[in-house]
Amino acid sequence: MYKFRKNLYSDVRIEDVFETTIGYRNAKLEQQKVRSYKGAFIRVFDGDKWYYAATTDLNNIQSELDVLSDMANPNETIDEHPVVKAFEVHKKEQLMFKDNSVKDIPVEEKKQVLSSYFDIFDREEIVQTTYAYVDKKVVKSFYSSKGSDLVFDNQTTGIGIRSQFLIGEEKGSESFSKAFTTFDPLKSLGEYFREEVEKQVDYVKHAENVEAGEYTVVLSPMATGVFTHESFGHKSESDFMVGDETMAKEWTLGKKVAANGVTIVDDGNELGSGFVQYDDEGTKARKTMIITDGELTGRLHSTSTAVALNESLTGNARAMNFEFEPIVRMTTTYIDKGTRKKDDIISEIKNGIFIDTIRHGSGMTTFTIAPNRAYKIEDGKITTPLKVSVVTGNVFSTLDEIDGISEEFDLLSFVGGGCGKMEQFPLPVGFGGPFIRVKKLNVQ
Amino acid sequence: MKQHYKIHSKETTVRVLNTEVSAVRKKDIVKQAVRVIEDDKIGIAGAIGDCDLETLENQARDNISIGIPYPYTLNEPQKEGFINKDCSLSHESLKDTVEDVLDFLKTYDEFDFSEVAKLVEDRISFTDSQGTELIYEDKYLELGFILKEKALANLFDGFLMYNGRSFDLEKFKSFNKEILKAYSTKVDMPEEKELPVIFMGGDALKMKLVQELNGEKIGSKASLFTDKIGQQAFNKKLTLLQDFNPVTGFRPFFDKEGTVNENYTYSLIEDGVIKSGFTSKKIADEFKLPYTGAASGGFDDVPTLGYTNLSFKTDTENLESIGKAIMIVIASGGDYTSDGSYASPVQKAFLYDSGKIVGVLPEFQISSHIYDMLGNDYVGTFDSPFYTSDQSTVTVCKMKID
């Protein structure tokens, strides 16, 4: 085991990665990659600054630790430092994917599952389709000078398909993606792909340009998920708040920040793209109630931010891979389900817009959703498809504008893309929620 | 034929939190792949970290049996190197340099600055068994700090940045004094409903072009530009290059198939006329399109066609002459519809007037259409007068302001 220098806090995270990528274009094989590698991230803390190293030379971890320790200033009271005191210590091996590992599935079986969907996309309206199968299994070992000795794993499998549609003069593209933590669910996606392709063909055929303006907007679970992630999820990442008195005042726990009935949750225990057993500084994943019935009740933390704000650990210190230090990130973030029927919520709208699928979103004071498929709502019914560039709203006011939350609810996981935060992109996250109605959003 | 692609990346990163150095990170990572091309098939094996090249070659040879076709004409052997040693910063001195920058920024007590400054040292090589040897070796500083106004409750309110090899602290201070003064000067939105908008780097403009000029999309008739090839679609002075120039791009001058273009560029739009989409060997062959040497992909992928680096050629002088304009700092989340309409919120922008950055504007929206923005409303691409890199451009077009 590693020799950790006295009077410093140190930890070592080793990632043992197995991954498969298979790609077809128009049913022809273009990519098949199976690879394994290991890497390590090493941290040393002297109570004032952190010193990090990323390496692929696992035989050299001790010397990397020594070099970082030489850079740090020994601190006799490091064990009393509040951040060091707050680090959780776990001694455990928790391998959830030992018996259902993607490593044990032959690559030919993975190709077979992917190719079983080719016929769905073989139609005259589609001029080009790329198909991707992706899996990744990571076994992480985490050791710290406080005594952590932890081995745990995570696994993702997924299929992502992207098609270009050409119907007469009308053009459009759409991505269809699903991800899971095991292989078998990938075998049953035919109905989902079929329905999505039919919807997209109809959309491309009939979509009209939107008349820009303010509308009542209903968001699908996918759009709700992106809205939640962008409009409020990033605001709840507390590294943005440390040392910022104005923001700390604005987001005081207990403050009413959303309409009654709005509950927002982040939960690393949800199986899917955002699943984590432990975060990347060895903290057990938690379910964090960020907003409960409209009231701010929590936020997401690394150990450092939890200590700085005198709050509890939440298990949200995540790194994109072994090349980066953990920072505060979401896991699976969603608005909790409501009590109303989706159709009832829509039936009350005379003139509005329904956002079905999205291309991307972003979140600052103004958050954005770039829809792919959007539709008019007229006299309580979803009608004509619409071409929309972007939907925007103000983070501070929009959560208060939610006045309908459906009982229908879906959590979504994807492959390809993910969440970006400064230099760490993409990190897999899960999101979703119910259908929600927002009284007023700007649509262009 | 055997090809070897290797990336050796050494980085030192100084992380800053609330205008103080909070961490130092060092990274030394090697990634490499061997490709074997035989009987019009390609086999690839890659590794992260040290590995035995003979083992990798044997794996790549075994992977030929997967059956991925590669029946394309291979490049003639070529030897070329871009080895730039202009950057005098050292990994050991980076923290001191950052602390000098922070000493300057600490005099602006109304702001906090966070994020990273990174010294990157890359060596990327492409060699083959017929004698090709392409080497890109470079060292440069990437400094990107987010700025937060202490009085506001936003995640962040702006950026300070520098990318380059010749960091000059005095120039950085001089330019950012003007920027920080502008951040402290709130101005009203101009009354005009349409104004020239200055895009630094032009990413919002290139977003649609990189999608629609993809040769695969053009070839399969799914592109907005499929029927516009050879036509005057944009302003006559606009020229768009597929740009692998390592001096301005901080990237290899060759693509993932080892192709090097003359002056490292290929004109995709010339004088407003769409000449070609960008292509790899496969896409050029499949759709009978001009070959532009734009293969991309991961270090151990079969060369593919995805994103490529585009740049507008400088065509106009004297940015000051545009008069009153809007200088975009953050316009995040906007997008185009399938037929080219564009809209975006502008979260942070300055009012610019005849060479002066006057003050910061409230949030607003911009909108237009790709054929207007780069057509009649295109003002020009200028050498940037702003000290955000050693050498960069800004692109200006008139937009609707809302």
Residue with tokens 């392409």: B134
Does any CB of chain A come closer than 8 Å to the CB of residue B283? no
Are A289 and A389 part of one and the same domain? yes
What pLDDT is attached to residue A416?
A: 84
Asked if the bond preceding B290 is cis, omega within 30° of 0, the reply is: no
DSSP at B82: E
Which of A303, A307, A308, A301 has its CA nearest to residue A328? A301
CA nearest A385: which of A222, A211, A209? A209
A218 and A183 assigned to the same domain: no
Write down which residue in B183, B204, B219 finishes a domain. Answer: B183
pLDDT tens track for A163-209: 999 999 999 999 999 999 999 999 999 999 999 999 999 999 999 99
Contacts of B377 (CB under 8 A, 6+ apart): B368, B397, B398, B399
The answer for A 285-324 residues in CB contact with B (under 8 A) is 323
B170: burial class by Cβ within 10 Å (0-12, 13-18, 19+)?
A: exposed
Best to test chain A binding among B155, B228, B300 (most A CBs inside 10 Å): B155
Whether A392 and A442 have beta carbons less than 8 Å apart is answered as yes
* A434 Cα to chain B: minimum distance (Å): 23
Residue A111 lies in a domain: yes
Inter-chain CB proximity A368 and B333 less than 8 Å = yes
CB-based contact A217:A435 (threshold 8 Å): no
Q: Which band of pLDDT confidence, cut at 50, 70 and 90, is reported for residue A396?
A: confident
The residues in B 233-272 lying below 8 A from A, measured between CB atoms, are none
One-letter amino acid at A48 equals: D
Residue A203 lies in a domain: no
- What pLDDT does residue A102 have? 98
Q: In percent, how much of chain A has pLDDT > 90?
A: 91
Asked if the Cβ–Cβ distance from B220 to A33 is below 8 Å, we say no
Domain that holds residue B146: 2-183
Residues B63 and B126 both lie in one domain: yes
The confidence score (pLDDT) of residue B366 equals 96
Q: How far is CA A184 from CA A102, A162, A179, A219, A309, in A?
A: 10, 22, 11, 30, 43
pLDDT for A243 beyond 90? no
**Beta carbons of A32 and B115 less than 8 Å apart:** no
Q: Flag whether A198 is in a domain.
A: no
A302/A240 same-domain check: yes
Q: A80: domain range?
A: 9-190
Domain harbouring B83, CATH code: 3.30.2290.10
Chain B environment of A33 (Cβ under 8 Å) = 44, 46, 300-301
Distances (CA, A) of A105 to A27, A39, A102, A413: 22, 24, 5, 21
- Return the number of CB contacts < 8 Å for A and B: 189
Residue numbers in B near A360 (CB within 8 A): 333, 335
Domains in chain B, number = 2
Structure tokens at A107: 């690559």
Question: Residue A251 — pLDDT band, cuts 50, 70, 90?
Answer: confident
Chain A nearest C-alpha distance from B300 (Å):
8
Tokens of B349: 């922008």
CB contact under 8 A, A370 and B333: yes
Q: Which residues of B touch A46 (CB under 8 A)?
A: none
Residues of chain B with pLDDT under 70: none
Count of structural domains, chain A: 2
**pLDDT score for A232:** 86
Q: Which residues of chain A does B60 touch, with a Cβ-Cβ cutoff of 8 Å?
A: none
Instruction: Mark yes or no for CB contact A209/B341 under 8 Å.
Output: yes
Q: Do B113 and B246 sit in the same domain of this protein?
A: no
Substitution target in A14, A68, A444 with the highest count of B β-carbons within 10 Å is A444
Mean pLDDT over residues A320-336, rounded? 97
Rg (CA), chain A: 23
A176 and A227 share one domain:
no
Report how far residue B64's alpha carbon sits from residue B61's, in angstroms, rounded to the nearest whole number. Answer: 5
Q: Examine the domain organization and report whether A266 and A407 are in the same domain.
A: yes
Average confidence (pLDDT) over A217-243: 92
Same domain, A322 and A219: yes
What CATH number does residue A66 fall under?
3.30.2290.10
B400 and B269 within one domain: yes
Check residue A301 and give its pLDDT.
98
Q: Is residue A4 one of the residues assigned to a domain? A: no
DSSP 8-class letter at B73 = P
Verify that A25 and A87 share a domain, yes or no.
Answer: yes
Q: Do B29 and A55 touch (CB under 8 A)?
A: yes
Q: Is the pLDDT of residue A63 over 90?
A: yes
DSSP tally for chain A: helices H, then strands E: 9, 25
Residues B125 and B226 in one domain: no
Residue B364 confidence (pLDDT): 95
What distances in angstroms separate CA A373 from CA A124, A194, A370, B207, B368, one per listed residue? 20, 16, 9, 19, 21
Give chain A's mean pLDDT: 96
- Same domain for B225 and B154: no
A-facing residues of B in 341-380 (CB < 8 A) are 341-345, 347, 363, 365, 367
In a domain, A195, yes or no: no
What residues 205-224 of chain A have any CB closer than 8 A to a CB of chain B? 207, 209, 212
What is the per-residue pLDDT across A345-383, written as a single tens digit (0 to 9) for each? 999 999 999 999 999 988 777 889 999 999 999 999 999
Residues B179 and B198 in one domain: no
Q: Do A243 and B17 touch (CB under 8 A)?
A: yes
| pLDDT, tens digit, 9 for 90 and up, residues B185-200 | 999 999 999 999 999 9
Are B252 and B301 part of one and the same domain?
A: yes
CB of A359 within 8 Å of a chain B CB? The answer is yes
Whether A49 contacts chain B with CB within 8 A: yes
At A385, list the tokens. 């498809």
Residue A196 in domain? no
For B114-124, b/e burial (b = at least 16 CB within 10 A) is bbbbbbbbbbb
Any chain B CB within 8 A of the CB of A31? yes
Lowest mean pLDDT among A103-107, A428-432, B49-53, B382-386: B49-53
**The domain boundary residue, chosen from B183, B207, B240:** B183
CB contact (8 A) between residue B156 and residue A366: no
- A1 is a domain residue: no
pLDDT in tens, A289-305: 999 999 999 999 999 99
- Cα distances from B379 to residues B119, B356, B388, in angstroms, run 35, 18, 22
Q: Which chain B residues have a beta carbon less than 8 Å from that of A365? A: 154-155, 347, 363
Residue B371 CA to residue B233 CA, distance in Å, equals: 7
| Residue A395: pLDDT band with limits 50, 70, 90 | confident
Please check whether residues B369 and B289 belong to one and the same domain.
yes
Overall average pLDDT of the A134-149 stretch: 98
Contact B345 A390 (CB under 8 A): yes
Q: What confidence score (pLDDT) does residue A397 get?
A: 86
Residue A234 DSSP one-character state: G
